Structure 1
Amino acid sequence: MKLKIVTMVAVALLVSCNSSEKNKTLSEVSNPTNNKIQKDPKLTESMKRGKDVYTNFCVSCHLPNGKGVPKAFPPLAKSDYLMNNRIESIKSIKYGQSGEITVNGVKYNGTMTPLGLEDAEVADVMNYITNSWGNTNDKLITPEEVSKIEE
């Protein structure tokens, strides 16, 4: 009887440890970008640079998975605000943002301080976040576009 129980527990553990979610490689888990978009070499390079900008400036509030912090920092993952408000999103990164915004039906009323980024860095991080965590943007954001956006 003990042998049957031990065998059943071992089989259950083996099956659960071999789930497809747990078998993802580290690169699959740490690279949330949309592989379909990465066919454009300019976009691919911009997203690589943007990931570095995100890691250095954005990850502490919006987290590595882009999900943000409920009631404090809005999500970037699958974000309707980010994807539907291109100019306002660029402006928020470039100049900071304060006041109420609604993201995925949830109101946020906080402050994002200006990050002091160059126009190229803003473009790169926008290309990264608009093509990561379930977001898809096929229109490259360029430093020239960012430079035309005023406060």
Structure 2
Amino acid sequence: MLYKRILVPFDTSELSIKALEKAIELAMLNQSEVFILHVVSEIPLPIHYSKIESKNNEVIITPLVNKLHNEMKNEMAEILKDVKNKYAKHNISITTEIIIGDPADTIVNFTKQNNIDLIVMGSIGRKGLSGLFKKLGSVARKVAEEVSCALLIVR
């Protein structure tokens, strides 16, 4: 089967790096586009720190959260720039994206909005083990349940 648009959810974990390498390998075989998506999780704040208001139909959140999100996005932007440069020699199209939101929902929505043919992702990301047993992570499980495209889980 030919995959033209491959998504790799990337969180710098060992498994997301393995997933990216597999996606690059597949992309070279099929001349596919690769989309590397990093999702910055929303930061829950105690009520006395959170300030959400609407101004001119835009949601304004506390400056502390904005600062933290911006720092995380800037740090990840540098990492993704290095990752993209590492694979540039393969002459495949690589697009990087950083989005703030719920990881599983963001991956599902990105897949639908960008007509992704294949998702290549790690079985467990940065959150690690669930309890004492290694099992499919909650993000990978939710994505598997909600997308209609092919999904390759890397372990």
User: Normalising by the residue count of structure 1, what TM-score does the alignment of the two structures yield?
Assistant: 0.27
| Higher relative strand content | 2
Higher relative contact order (CA 8 A, sep 6+): 2
**Rg larger in 1 or in 2?**
1
